[in-house]
């Protein structure tokens, strides 16, 4: 009888501990799944390419690394290296860019984007702009992305360089600057009246 009680107690003890253990495992699995789901949201696809004519184009979120791919690096590096930033305006831009975020919509297939985007990166480098505050969105010829990043942004021409402060749009340069990239940026960021090339 005593042996039977001991065996029953042991079974109950194992049953309880394994149940607690199972709950612990479920809890850990649940935490891992939440953590994985968060990291999937953070790790968005970047620098995706799709076929375009005899080559490829970037489509969706991109960054400078994407512009260094074989299909794009020649025009990007040449444009970047050959651009001379206006040093006087550069100094005026530095304090104005402190609380600014920027979104650039461009097409790697578009000559205007190929011209202005490397110049813009050169300016940002020379004013020590934090690249984490820059979103580069690469679009199709229809000015669209599979993820719909362009929705509600009124992207009619590229490049469109949009400046934000506290998530409010301050202004944008569309397709080409009116005076120069630096002068147009200065006008927008200092609150002067500025109309881009396609403003009504």
pLDDT (tens digit, 9 = 90+) per residue, 112-131? 999 999 999 999 999 999 99
How many Cβ atoms sit within 10 Å of the Cβ of residue 199?
A: 10
| In the chain, where the domains are located | 1-43, 49-189
Task: Check whether 13 has a pLDDT greater than 90.
Answer: no
Mean pLDDT for 149-174 is 98
Amino acid 44: pLDDT: 75
How many CA atoms within 13 Å lie on the side-chain side of 107?
19
Mean pLDDT for 143-169 is 97
Task: Check whether 7 has a pLDDT greater than 60.
Answer: no
Q: How far apart are CA 115 and CA 118, in angstroms?
A: 7
Q: How far apart are CA 117 and CA 122, in angstroms?
A: 9
| Mean residue pLDDT across the chain | 86
pLDDT (tens digit, 9 = 90+) per residue, 59-105? 999 999 999 999 999 999 999 999 999 999 999 999 999 999 999 99
Beta strand pairing status for 134-138 and 100-106? parallel
Is the Cα dihedral 66, 74, 70, 55 positive or negative? Answer: positive
Q: How far apart are CA 197 and CA 140, in angstroms?
A: 21
Reduced 3-state DSSP string for the chain: CHHHHHHHHHHHHHHHHHHHHHHHHHHHHHHHHHHHHHHHHHCCCCCCEEEECCEEEECEEECHHHHCCCCCHHHHHHHHHHCCCCHHHHHHHHHHCCCEEEEEEECCCCHHHHHHHHHHHHHHHHCCCCHHHEEEEECCCCCCCCCCCCCCCCCCCCCEEEEEECCEEEEEEECCCCCCHHHHHHHHHCCCCCCCCCCC
Task: Check whether 28 has a pLDDT greater than 90.
Answer: no
| CATH for the 49-189 domain, from 3.40.190.290, 2.40.160.10, 3.40.30.10, 3.50.30.30 | 3.40.30.10
Q: Identify the residue with better confidence: 179 or 29.
A: 179
């Amino acid at each position: 009888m005593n042996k039977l009680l001991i065996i029953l107690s042991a079974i109950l003890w194992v049953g309880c501990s394994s149940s607690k253990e199972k709950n612990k495992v479920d809890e850990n699995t649940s935490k891992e799944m939440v953590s994985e789901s968060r990291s999937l949201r953070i790790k968005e696809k970047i620098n995706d390419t799709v076929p375009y004519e005899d080559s490829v184009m970037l489509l969706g979120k991109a960054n400078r690394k994407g512009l260094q791919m074989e299909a794009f690096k020649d025009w990007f590096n040449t444009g970047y290296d050959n651009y001379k930033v206006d040093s006087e305006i550069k100094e005026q831009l530095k304090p104005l860019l402190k609380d600014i975020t920027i979104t650039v919509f461009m097409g790697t297939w578009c000559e205007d984007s190929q011209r202005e985007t490397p110049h813009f990166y050169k300016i940002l480098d020379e004013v020590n702009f934090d690249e984490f505050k820059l979103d580069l969105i690469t679009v199709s010829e229809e000015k669209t992305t599979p993820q719909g990043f362009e929705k509600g942004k009124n992207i009619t021409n590229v490049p469109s360089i949009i400046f934000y402060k506290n998530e409010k749009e301050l202004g944008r340069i569309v397709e080409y600057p009116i005076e120069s990239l630096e002068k147009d940026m200065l006008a927008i960021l200092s609150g002067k009246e500025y109309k881009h090339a396609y403003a009504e």
